[in-house]
Amino acid sequence: MKICVLGAGAWGTALAIHLGKLHPTKLWARNSGHVSGMNKAQSNPLYLGDFKFPPLLEVSNDFSAALSDIDLIVCAVPTSGFRQILKSINEINQSALVIWANKGLEQGSAKLPHEIAFEELGDSKRTNRHWGVITGPSFAAELVRSLPTALTLASTSKKTTMLAANIFHHDNLRVYTSHDVVGASVGGALKNVIAIASGISDGMGFGNNARAALITRGLAEISRFGSYLGANQDTFSGLAGSGDLVLTCTGEYSRNREVGLQLAKGQPLKTILKNLGHVAEGVFTATEVIRRIDNTEIEMPITSEVNNVIQFGKSPKDAVLDLLDRSIKPEI
């Protein structure tokens, strides 16, 4: 099985290192200087420190060469570049299974990765070109340190789900299978928004009670949005839902939580994102979710307040206090 991982950020590199332990794997990055540095160091010091590449892992900035004679393509580019990557894949390799690892909504269209894949790769029921997502509670630095990790892999067919799952499932990584591509995409995207809210709360010193409430009510919002799109509600009680949400809202490596922490300190968003050095998908996702639920009856108050802070400069403290001041409602 020959694999290509597109995107040499922290998570793409971690997946490439993991896959390259057993399979011939190519890691593609757009920037030639970045690739040159990785080839020289045999690691990715820019995004993942000095974790060494396995012998079966090659690094390239030649997109066509990276995709030639490949059986599995793993997309780990930011969601903002996902559509163009799929278009480029179609020009070179129209047969390989595509699994993505990015989490978010596309800016402007408010579409989730599975909707973009449907538009660019086609309806798998008609084309027999299958695609899916790998998601769940995971930090790159822990995967490459061989710490126990469990993820969910969902795709458009049972056969390809098992095929891809078996490729990822080894060493410290356990893979669970699912056929709910919609739910897996929703859980992975929206948890980043709730993580920003959690970071704001922690940064304001509001304590453990507030964080637990935000996580719990945040999961309710994710489930509500997922139900609207036809997701299986059971997905949100698993790794792709509550598992990923809890980790992102509490973990020290969480980029989106860090955005919230810095917002609570009064830092401007542009400064935060510049200093972060990585993509924080929740910043753009919040705005797109609000766009998506406009003119519907879906209530997402936490997401709405995060968007108010990010998009309209609302005070983080006022956002939290306004959430507390909402009228009494049934919990379910």
Active site residues: 191
Residues pairing with 59 in the sheet: 27
Locate all alpha helices (DSSP H) within the chain, ordered by sequence: 10-19, 32-41, 63-67, 82-92, 113-121, 124-127, 140-144, 158-168, 181-203, 207-229, 244-250, 255-264, 269-276, 281-293, 301-312, 316-324
Residues pairing with 149 in the sheet: 173
What DSSP letter does each residue of 102-117 carry, written as one string? Answer: --S--TTT---HHHHH
The length of the chain in residues reads 332
CA dihedral for 199, 204, 208, 211, sign (positive or negative)? negative
Contact call for residues 63 and 91 (beta carbons, < 8 A)? no
